[in-house]
Amino acid sequence: MDINFELYKIFYYCCSNKSFSTAAKKLFISQSAVSQSIKQLETQLGVTLFFRKSRAIQLTSEGEMLFSYVSQAFNFLKTAESKLQELEDLKSGEIRIGVSDSICKYFVMPYIKNFGLLYPQIAIKVVNRTTPQLLEVLKNGMVDMVISTLPVNGEIYSAVPFITVDDIFVASEKYSGLKGREISLEELNTNPLVMLPPDSSTRKAIDAFFARHGLACSPEIELESLDLLVEFALIGTGIAYVLKNSAVEHIKSGQLFHIKTMEELPQREVGIVTMKNVMLSKAVKTFIDILL
């Protein structure tokens, strides 16, 4: 059966108000239109829904059974409307953020904390991946937004700048001969380097930088974790290329020192990436507004 939902709506109002005339007033239609709609519904269902022996309407057993289901359906719709309003009022909902561990730890965490304090009823889910993996989960609808290094390739994405970050080379006292002077990339490249893997956006940027200066970047150690890069630098395994924020405290304490290069290292622009043709929830829009 393909019955017009409007007929069920009229039936629901008649049953709820126990009156065709009251239902007509609440629906802003004539009582005749109500009667005709009920007759049409009965014809399509092949059953009698009301006894019509007096002014007061009374449901038949078939009508009572139908009303038990129709009333449940309308209650579900009312609940859905209420839940949607809660989402609009930021009293419930969820935001799913895709972000790398370093950007999350050193830049995004304070915003997540503040958002949680302002809107405690909204759940925050964080997915931690590399930039290429984050863009993939965004495309697949597993997250609402991604915070990653710009630019991103693909016309399906929309990106706005968030922050600019610095990456630097650091080393322990084992490489003290490099301390206090600027060295060339060529000299730097003769030392054991510790870096993120080739598929990371940070690594791609520094590889391109080396290439522009006629050099191939060939680290001896590649690690997935930024924290491990710092740890390997601390034990003197090599010169690590890390996010500046991750090494600041170690530099202040003297455990590591910043190796300066003659060539100015590139900064990285980090942005907020969303899908172009996907409507964002109010919760996600609010979080983005807080970031910006």
Q: What is the pLDDT of residue 199?
A: 86
Interatomic CA distance for residues 176 and 279, integer angstroms:
53
Count how many domains the chain has.
Answer: 3
Last residue of a domain, one of 88, 110, 140: 88
CATH code for position 223:
3.40.190.10
Q: Whole-model pTM?
A: 0.69
Last residue of a domain, one of 46, 62, 88: 88
Last residue of a domain, one of 88, 104, 132: 88
Three-state DSSP class for 268? strand
Band the pLDDT of 113: cuts 50, 70, 90: very high
CATH code for position 32:
1.10.10.10
Residue 158 sits in the same domain as residue 42: no
Cis peptide preceding 151, ω within 30 of 0: yes
The type of residue at 85 is: Q
Interatomic CA distance for residues 74 and 225, integer angstroms:
52
Residue 27 sits in the same domain as residue 112: no
Within 150-288, strands assigned E span: 157-165, 167-171, 182-183, 193-195, 221-222, 239-243, 257-261, 268-275
69 or 131, which is more confident: 69
181-187 average pLDDT score: 94
For residue 287, what is the enclosing H or E element?
helix 282-291
Residue 112 sits in the same domain as residue 73: no
Residue 134 sits in the same domain as residue 178: no
Q: What is the pLDDT of residue 77?
A: 86
pLDDT in tens, 48-104: 999 876 667 889 999 999 999 998 888 888 878 877 877 777 877 889 999 988 899
Containing structural domain, residue 148: 94-164+270-291
User: Which range (119-133, 168-182, 240-254, 257-271) has the least confidence?
Assistant: 119-133
Nearest Cα neighbor of 98 from 36, 46, 43, 140 is 140
Ranked by mean pLDDT, which of 11-25, 79-93, 120-134, 164-178 comes out on top?
164-178
Residue 116 sits in the same domain as residue 189: no
Band the pLDDT of 1: cuts 50, 70, 90: low
| pLDDT cut 90: percent of the chain above it | 67
Band the pLDDT of 214: cuts 50, 70, 90: very high
Residue 141 sits in the same domain as residue 109: yes
- Decide: 283 and 289 in contact? Cβ < 8 Å: no
